[in-house]
Amino acid sequence: MTWARWVQLWDRREDPVILAIIRILVAGVLLYDFLWIQHLGLVEALFTPQEGGGFPDVYGRSPVPELYRMLPGTAGTAFAVWTVMVVALLCFGVGFLTPLAGLIVVFTSAQLAMVLPLGDRGIDTLLRNVVLILSLSSCGRRLGVDGVLFGVRRLAPAWPRHLLILQLATMYFCAGIQKTALSWGPLGGFSALFLILQDPAIAAWRFDWLARWYPLTQLATVGTLIFEWSAGLVPLVYWFRDTRTAPGRLRAWFNTARPLRIWVALGVALHVGIACTMSLGIFPWAMLALYPAFVHPEELARALRARLRAR
C-alpha cells in the first residue's frame, strides 16, 4: 500500500450516526455499571483506600494513583470521583460537550483502575480504548446535544469507526490465539467451556448437570475458537469490499457470500450465550454495544428507508 493510499484510507467521510449510536450504548452500559455499584453500596468499599474503609491497598503500591496523591484517601473523595464519573457518562451519553466528557470518563476510569487493579477487568480496558476513540470523533454532533449547540454533522471522518472495527477484530483474534490450554483443543477434548462453567466464580448458575450435555459444550468450545480465530479475517473482508472491482475468486466469494454477516451473527450468539450462563457483569452487553460498528451508515440508512416504505 502506498503512502497516498494510506492517507486516503483514513480520510474518508461518512455519516457519524453509527458512532453516535455506539456512544449512547457504551455510555448506557457504563452508566448502568456505576449506578449498580451505588445500588449495592460499594462506592466506598471499591474506591476508598483501606485506611478509609475500602478494599484497595492504595498506598502500599507504587506508584500511588494520582487521584490519591492529590486528594485525601477518604470515602468523600471516592463518592466525589464516582459522581464525576456518573455526570461525565451522562454528558457523554447525551452528547453534551462530548470530547471533554469522554476524556473525563477515560481518565477517571483509569484512575479507578489504578485504585483497585483487581476490580478492573478486560472489558474496562476495551471501553477506555473505545471511549478515547469516540472522544476524538464527531459522534456528539449526531443524536446529541452538541449537534443542537454547534450544528449537526452529517458527514464526518470515518476513521473512528474503522478503528473500532480493527479494535474488535484484534481483541477477538488475540483472545483466540492465546487460548493455548489443552482443554481448548482436541487433546483436551474441547472441554474448556465445560470446565469454565464449573467455576463458581464465573458460572451464573450451577452446571453440575452439564456432564449429560458434554458434547454440546464441546461444540460451543469449537464454535468459540472458530469465531475468535476467524476475527483475523475481518480486515481482509473489508479489504475485499474496498477493492471489489479487482479480480480474484476469493474476493468475489467474500463479496457475494457476505461472511461478515454470519460472523457477526455468531458473535451475537456467543455474547448472548455468555450473558445467559456466566456471571461476567457488563461484559457481554458492552461487547454487543460495539457491534453497530460493523454496520455502514449507508446500510443503516437503506434499512430505515426500506422500513419506512414498507409502512
Partner 1 sequence: MSAAAPSRWPAVRAAGIAAVLFVHGLATLPLPHSMRRASFDEPVAQEELSAQARLLRRIGVNVTTEELVDVMFRSGTAWVSVYNAVLKPLEPAFRITGTGQSWGLFTYPDTFPHQLIVEVRSSKSGPWVTLFAGLDPEHRWMRDVLAYRRVRGVYDGQTTKPGASWNNLTKWLARRAFTEDPAVQAVRISFRRFHTVKPGEPPDTTVEAQRHARTWARAQVMR
Min separation Cβ 267 and partner 1, Å: 14
Quick check: 75 binds partner 1 (CB under 8 A)? no
Quick check: 9 binds partner 1 (CB under 8 A)? yes
Q: Which is nearer to partner 1, 18 or 105 (CB)?
A: 105
Torsion angle, alpha carbons of 232, 235, 236, 241, to 10: 150
Min separation Cβ 271 and partner 1, Å: 12
Q: Looking only at residues 158 through 177 of this chain, which bind partner 1 when binding is defined by CB under 8 A?
A: 159, 163, 166, 170-172, 174-175, 177
Q: Looking only at residues 181 through 220 of this chain, which bind partner 1 when binding is defined by CB under 8 A?
A: 181-184, 187-189, 191-196, 198-203, 205-206, 211, 214
Please count the residues of this chain forming the interface with partner 1, following the rule CB under 8 A.
Answer: 81
Quick check: 64 binds partner 1 (CB under 8 A)? no
Among the residue ranges 105-113, 144-152, 252-260, 265-273, the one whose residues contact partner 1 (CB under 8 A):
105-113
Bridge partners of 14? 156
The dihedral through the CA atoms of 25, 300, 129, 138 has a sign that is: negative
Quick check: 180 binds partner 1 (CB under 8 A)? yes
Bridge partners of 278? 203
Quick check: 85 binds partner 1 (CB under 8 A)? no
When binding is defined by CB under 8 A, the residue of 128, 141, 153, 161 that contacts partner 1 is: 128
Quick check: 56 binds partner 1 (CB under 8 A)? yes
Quick check: 116 binds partner 1 (CB under 8 A)? yes
When binding is defined by CB under 8 A, the residue of 71, 86, 113, 222 that contacts partner 1 is: 113
Residue type, 89: L
Q: Which is nearer to partner 1, 204 or 303 (CB)?
A: 204
